[in-house]
């Protein structure tokens, strides 16, 4: 089936890992297509997650001024529209964009305003998730969580932690997640990607998110799968990315189908539209080809995605109607 026209939900998408060649050329005209492929796109097989993340550096280096941040944000909305994504949650770490003197508040305000323009221009509903990073200090994590609180009620909808899961423990960030929950902020957290099921258990215990970014290594522990199902924790699954970062050896080894059949709430996502040079249409076609998924699978994943999204009830209902009408 051609899924290009199918309406889609995307909950796990990194802004600084999704710069198209067109927007890179606008910001830095000297970049050739060869340099873009070499520096911005990860190979089909990276050594590990850290190797994959290196490609994000080129992205956020070009996102240091108000104009650059706006261009990149609007370009991603254009990509989402072309992929028929009708609701997306776009995440980024504000503190990565302070190299030319912008403050965290200024950065979030610029991206928030650009998202507002993107929603109006392209008709793609969207929220923004602000991420702290594993190697950050407790103070940097608190600063990021405070930005989520400060912008509550705008397009900023949640708090996340990303980065080198294997290299840094969770201790520095527990207080920030406690602060986020105390202030009624939605939380998701990367886990179960570079590390195994124990990382997911620890993240659930200390951060208490309602969603896990990736979380695919939960499949290694039947008790964890049962816990996720019982407590309605949603997994933001990104198949191609997981192969690139060596979480799985091949796409045939990916546990997405096992997680789905275990009854765990999950969605299919890109993670990065440049570092992993893919679309959500591509990911749907992969799931269809390798695991024989059909419209029923994508109906459930999209309905679970919007149910676990950090959108308003009004947006959820609007999106739910579109999804149900198409897939049923």
- Write a three-state SS string for 198-232: HHHHHHHHHHCCCEEEECHHHHHCHHHHHHHHHCC
Domain assignments of the chain as residue spans, ordered by start: 8-129+212-218+228-327
Q: What is 146-164 written as a DSSP string? A: HHHHHTBTTTEEEEEEES-
Handedness of CA 236, 239, 245, 250 (dihedral sign): positive
Of the residues 10, 125, 146, 193, only one is catalytic, namely 193
Using DSSP, state whether 145 is helix, strand or coil: helix
Phi, psi of 103 (to 5 degrees): -85, 165
pLDDT score at 194: 85
Its pTM stands at: 0.97
**Which of 180, 173, 182 lies closest to 190 in space, CA to CA?**
173
| pLDDT band for position 169 (cuts 50, 70, 90) | confident
Dmax (CA) for the chain in angstroms is 53
- Is 205 an active-site residue? no
Where is pLDDT greater, at 80 or 165?
80
Is the CATH number 3.20.20.140 carried by domain 8-129+212-218+228-327? yes
pLDDT for 200-235, tens place per residue?
999 999 999 999 999 999 999 999 999 999 999 999
Residues in CB range of 244: below 8 A, 6 or more apart: 42, 43, 44, 45, 46, 52, 275, 276
- Mean local confidence (pLDDT), 20-29: 98
Phi, psi of 157 (to 5 degrees): -120, -10
* Residue 92 pLDDT greater than 90, yes or no: yes
pLDDT for 278-306, tens place per residue?
999 999 999 999 999 999 999 999 999 99
* Residue 166 pLDDT greater than 90, yes or no: no
pLDDT for 32-88, tens place per residue?
999 999 999 999 999 988 889 998 999 999 999 999 999 999 999 999 999 999 999
pLDDT score at 165: 80
End-to-end Cα distance, the chain: 15
CB 186 within 8 A of CB 159: yes
Query: How far is residue 158's CA from residue 152's CA, in Å, rounded to a whole number?
Result: 8
pLDDT score at 223: 98
| pLDDT band for position 316 (cuts 50, 70, 90) | very high
**Which of 200, 136, 137, 139 lies closest to 162 in space, CA to CA?**
136
Question: What residues are paired with 88 via a beta bridge?
Answer: 10, 126
Residues in CB range of 253: below 8 A, 6 or more apart: none
Of 21-30, 137-146, 158-167, 288-297, the one with minimum mean pLDDT is: 158-167
| pLDDT band for position 236 (cuts 50, 70, 90) | very high
Strands of 8-14's sheet, edge to edge? 8-14, 85-92, 125-133, 156-162, 186-191, 211-214, 234-237, 266-268
* pLDDT over 70 percentage in the chain: 100
- Mean local confidence (pLDDT), 166-183: 94
CB 243 within 8 A of CB 250: yes
């Amino acid at each position: 089936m051609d899924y290009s026209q199918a309406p889609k939900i995307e909950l796990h998408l990194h802004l600084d890992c999704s710069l198209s060649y067109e927007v890179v050329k606008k910001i830095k005209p000297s970049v050739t297509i060869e340099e873009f492929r070499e520096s911005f796109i990860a190979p089909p097989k990276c050594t590990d997650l850290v190797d994959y993340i290196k490609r994000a550096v080129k992205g956020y280096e070009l996102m240091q001024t108000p104009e650059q941040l706006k261009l990149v944000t609007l370009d991603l909305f254009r990509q989402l529209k072309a992929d028929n994504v009708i609701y997306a949650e776009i995440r980024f770490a504000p503190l990565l964009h302070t190299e030319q003197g912008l403050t965290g508040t200024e950065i979030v305000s610029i991206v928030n305003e650009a998202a507002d323009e993107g929603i109006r221009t392209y008709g793609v509903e969207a929220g923004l998730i602000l991420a702290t990073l594993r190697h950050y200090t407790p103070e940097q994590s608190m600063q990021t969580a405070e930005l989520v609180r400060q912008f509550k009620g705008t397009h900023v909808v949640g708090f996340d932690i990303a980065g080198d899961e294997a290299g840094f423990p969770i201790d520095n960030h527990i207080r920030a997640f406690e602060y986020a929950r105390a202030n009624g902020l939605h939380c998701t957290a990367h886990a179960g990607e570079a590390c195994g099921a124990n990382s997911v258990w620890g993240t659930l215990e200390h951060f208490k998110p309602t969603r896990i970014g990736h979380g695919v290594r939960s499949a290694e522990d039947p008790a964890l799968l049962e816990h996720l199902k019982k407590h309605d924790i949603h997994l933001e699954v990104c198949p191609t990315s997981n192969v690139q970062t060596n979480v799985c050896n091949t796409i045939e080894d990916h546990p997405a189908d096992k997680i789905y059949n275990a009854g765990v709430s999950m969605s299919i996502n890109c993670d990065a539209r440049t570092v992993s040079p893919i679309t959500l249409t591509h990911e749907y076609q992969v799931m269809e080809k390798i695991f024989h998924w059909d419209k029923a699978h994508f109906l459930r994943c999209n309905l679970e995605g919007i149910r676990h999204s950090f959108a308003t009830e009004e947006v959820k209902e609007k999106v739910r109607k579109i999804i149900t009408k198409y897939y049923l």
